[in-house]
């Protein structure tokens, strides 16, 4: 039975471009029709396009990815998924930027090669997750430092409508609902509710 190559390219956001991954997959020999491109975070495997692709993979097929972090970023989840594909489904995985270390093809009788591949996988998964956590910590520290300097994040607050105090009083007396008050003010119900909590002067 001939092996079939499946290529998987992933970007966390639509602002990122998967072209480099796609080119690498094609150069390796993956047909364009068998390349799946998904714009989704790699924090877990709750990815519809990826899961649909994996369901098509049969024993002897090969999953090709440009780099290990395209598969995922959670260490334990990536290791479990690796085992699911190579052991449970009987398919192979090729990581292009880690050839020949992360290439499970024709290694079923090579104990040493499998042992080395398992070690490399564990180390790389650890590094990927460590970097992800460090980036999160750096981002949080940067935001905290910016807030201390007075930097305001997000959209500026919407100015309170001049007619808000009157409608607020009517709402407090039960004369008007939140929806009707918001509609008359030309804002959403959530905005009206936020304004209710503001110490607004008439």
Structure tokens at 133: 């956590």
**Cβ atoms of 62 and 93 closer than 8 Å:** yes
Question: Which residues, at least 6 apart from 150, have a Cβ–Cβ distance to it below 8 Å?
Answer: none
Query: Which H or E element spans position 113?
Result: helix 111-148
Residue 167 sits in which domain range? 151-202
Of the pLDDT bands very low, low, confident and very high (cuts 50, 70, 90), residue 57 is very high
Q: Quote the pLDDT of residue 29.
A: 95
**Same-domain status, 48 and 84:** yes
Residue 159 placed within a domain: yes
**Same-domain status, 36 and 63:** yes
Residue 22 placed within a domain: yes
Sheet holding 5-11, edge to edge: 35-39, 5-11, 62-65, 92-95
CATH assignment of the domain containing 60: 3.40.50.1390
Which residues carry out catalysis? 12
How many domains is the chain built from?
A: 2
Q: Name the more confident of 102 and 23.
A: 23
Q: Quote the pLDDT of residue 201.
A: 46
On average, the pLDDT of the chain sits at 84
The reply to whether the predicted model has a pTM over 0.95 is: no
* CA atoms of 116 and 98, how far apart (whole Å): 12
**Same-domain status, 128 and 162:** no
Structure tokens at 73: 């970023």
Task: Give the pLDDT confidence of 93-114 residue by residue, as tens digits.
Answer: 999 998 888 888 876 556 666 6
């Amino acid at each position: 039975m001939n092996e079939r190559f499946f290529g998987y390219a992933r970007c966390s956001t639509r602002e990122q471009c998967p072209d480099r991954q796609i080119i690498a997959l094609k150069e390796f020999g993956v047909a364009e029709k068998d390349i799946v491109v998904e714009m989704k975070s790699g924090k877990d495997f709750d990815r519809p396009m990826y899961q649909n692709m994996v369901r098509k993979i049969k024993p002897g097929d090969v999953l090709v990815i440009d780099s290990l972090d395209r598969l995922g970023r959670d260490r334990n989840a990536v290791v479990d998924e690796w085992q699911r594909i190579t052991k449970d489904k009987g398919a192979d995985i090729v990581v292009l930027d880690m050839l020949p270390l992360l290439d499970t093809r024709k290694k079923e009788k090579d104990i040493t090669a499998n042992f080395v591949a398992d070690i490399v996988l564990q180390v790389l998964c650890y590094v990927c997750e460590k970097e992800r956590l460090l980036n999160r910590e750096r981002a949080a520290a940067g935001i905290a430092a910016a807030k201390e300097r007075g930097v305001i994040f997000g959209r500026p607050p919407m100015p309170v409508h001049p007619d808000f105090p009157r409608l607020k009083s009517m709402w407090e007396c039960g004369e008007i609902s939140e929806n009707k008050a918001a509609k008359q003010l030309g804002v959403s119900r959530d905005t009206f509710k936020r304004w209710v909590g503001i110490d607004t002067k008439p």
